[in-house]
Amino acid sequence: MIKILVVDDHELVRTGISRILNDVKDFKVVAEANCGEDAVAYCRKETPDIVLMDVGMPGIGGLEATKKILRVCDGTRVICLSMHKENPIPAKIMQAGAYGFLTKDAEHSEMIDAIYKVASGQKYLSPEIAQKIAIGSLDLSQTNPFEILTERELEITMMITRGIKVTDIAKTLSLSAKTVNTYRYRTFDKLNVQSDVELTHLALRHNLIQSTA
């Protein structure tokens, strides 16, 4: 039996995924969490085989939660779910130690197949994502400027573009506000932007975030 933790900040999404997975004879959803913090706390006490992790959540988010879980649970493998199909999100997630990456519009059968493969020790990327990563690595004209950011810089960038204040980012990531601002201004320099607004516009242009309009 493959024990699965489902992590997503939307209850309807969690419920839907859990129902699909519990219908598979080899799967058992042992818990659900609505944020990265709760997912990490659960994994400190239990050791699920698979964590199905939403990337874009409030709080520490899926990237930081993945890193924290992998530090405390040797036997747990993380599959991340995201609306983001463009680099650097998929590549950074895999570099952080995730075993799989799926887009949220994946078919149910693909999600099930990915869980089976990851549980058996294989890594999984949806064909579309794998192709984008391959093309991006071969074609310099496809380079996304956000690819030059470190994982921490990208993580803080994602939080800034969601409108989260520096003091709240610092509290969430257990950093000082000064340290967060150091990452923030280093990111500005790397991306040649002058403000959070310019950073957000750049993120929108490169599909790092989705417009709410």
pLDDT digit string (tens) for 1-51? 999 999 999 999 999 999 999 999 999 999 999 999 999 999 999 999 999
CATH number at residue 169: 1.10.10.10
Residue 211 lies in a domain: no
Q: Return the residue matching tokens 């075993």.
A: 99
As given in the structure block, the two tokens for residue 195 are 């403000």
**Using 50, 70 and 90 to split pLDDT, how confident is the model at 138?**
very low
Which pLDDT score, from 0 to 100, does residue 213 have?
A: 46
> Which one of 91, 114, 136 terminates a domain?
136
Domain that holds residue 77: 2-136
Q: Establish how many alpha carbons lie within 13 A of residue 63's alpha carbon, considering only the half-sphere containing its beta carbon.
A: 22
The mean pLDDT value for 79-108 works out to 85
CATH number at residue 51: 3.40.50.2300
Cα separation of 17 and 20, whole Å?
A: 5
- Would you say residue 143 has pLDDT above 90? no
Task: Count how many domains the chain has.
Answer: 2
As given in the structure block, the two tokens for residue 88 are 């650097």
Residues 115 and 20 in one domain: yes
Cα separation of 23 and 33, whole Å?
A: 20
Residues 6+ apart with CB under 8 A from 195: 188
The pTM (predicted TM-score) of the whole model is 0.76
Cα separation of 101 and 94, whole Å?
A: 7
Residues 37 and 131 in one domain: yes
Residue 210 carries which side chain, given as an amino acid letter? Answer: Q
Lowest mean pLDDT among 93-102, 177-186, 199-208: 199-208
Question: By CB neighbour count within 10 A (0-12 exposed, 13-18 middle, 19+ buried), where does 77 fall?
Answer: buried
> Which one of 80, 112, 136 terminates a domain?
136
Is residue 101 a contact partner of residue 80, using CB atoms and an 8 Å limit? yes
**Using 50, 70 and 90 to split pLDDT, how confident is the model at 103?**
confident
Residues 113 and 194 in one domain: no
Q: Write phi, then psi, for 15 (nearest 5 degrees).
A: -65, -45
